[in-house]
Amino acid sequence: MTDALRPMAKQRLYEQVLDRLRQYVTEGGLRAGDRLPPERDLAQRLGVSRASVKQAIVVLEVQGLVEARHGGGTYLVRDSLDVEPVERMVERRRRLPDVLEAREALETKLAELAAERRTDDDLAALRSALAHMAEEIEAGGAGVEGDRRFHAAVTAAAHSALLAEFMRSIAEQIAESRTESLRQPGRPNRSLAQHRAILDAIAEGRPRQAAAAMRRHVRTVAKVRLLDWDPEEDDR
């Protein structure tokens, strides 16, 4: 039986605030670096509680669209507020812990094996990936492609066909967790530094240290605002 006529989800009040903020930024011609009005002013002008405005701002922060500076207001990170649908965020939040758990189990072992089995070509690929990530960050990017290349190079250096197949089977979810992590403030440079520690251990042929460095890295990846966000928090 089709569920097309199931009850429609009621739009949360802060989702309506998000719609209005997107419209405000577009019609006002705001750009990256511009400041949004204070939460109190927004609440008064929209006729909602400050809690509703705060929830909307948190959603924008989670998506990397604004930066809330302590005591200094909220600033646009991009030239528009192209907000991802909240329900999609809720789904991503639901599955992210399982993805991160799988990544820690698989990639820790891959790093250990890479330290035992890597070839000169493998090391060259790892170094090339880090150089690419550094260039991306230097140019103002998040280093997403360099990050992808590095983790792919670690997988290749492990020379384990079955583990590589497992990684391919969750590639889409890994990409999602990568993007989520690298949009956190200061995260790209921190990830780059952790990648270098992983590479050093692999290059020196130290399996235990490589595994430990990878475990620390994946646990850093897991520290994202999305997992702290409560989509059902009362915003009335």
Give pTM, 2 decimals.
Answer: 0.80
Q: Please report, for the chain, how many H helices and E strands are present, in that order.
A: 11, 2
The encoded tokens of residue 216 equal 């620390």
130: tokens are: 């880090």
Please say whether the beta carbons of 75 and 19 come within 8 A.
no
For residue 1, the tally of other CB atoms under 10 A from its CB is: 4
> Residue 35: which pLDDT band, with cuts at 50, 70 and 90?
very high
Instruction: Provide the pLDDT for residue 3.
Output: 56
Q: Look-up: residue for tokens 């460095």?
A: 213
What residues contact 60, with CB distance under 8 A and at least 6 apart?
18, 21, 66, 74, 81, 83
pLDDT in tens, 138-180: 999 999 999 999 999 999 999 999 999 999 999 999 999 999 9
pLDDT band at 133 (very low <50, low <70, confident <90, very high): very high
Alpha carbon distance 2, 4 (integer Å): 6
pLDDT at 124 over 90: yes
Report the share of the chain in percent with pLDDT over 70: 93
Q: How far apart are CA 36 and CA 28, in angstroms?
A: 11
CB 30, CB 60: distance < 8 Å: no
pLDDT of 81 reads 86
Please compute the mean of the pLDDT values over residues 68-80 and round it to a whole number: 83
The pair of three-digit structure tokens given for residue 182, joined into one six-digit string = 């690298």
- Locate 208 and state its tokens: 């235990």
pLDDT score for 236: 52
Matching residue, tokens 């493998």:
122
Residue 200 corresponds to which tokens in the numbers above? Answer: 């050093």
| 9 pLDDT above the threshold of 60 | no
Q: Is the pLDDT of residue 87 over 90?
A: no
State the sign of the Cα–Cα–Cα–Cα dihedral 227, 145, 131, 159: positive
Res 212 pLDDT > 90: yes
pLDDT at 8 over 70: no
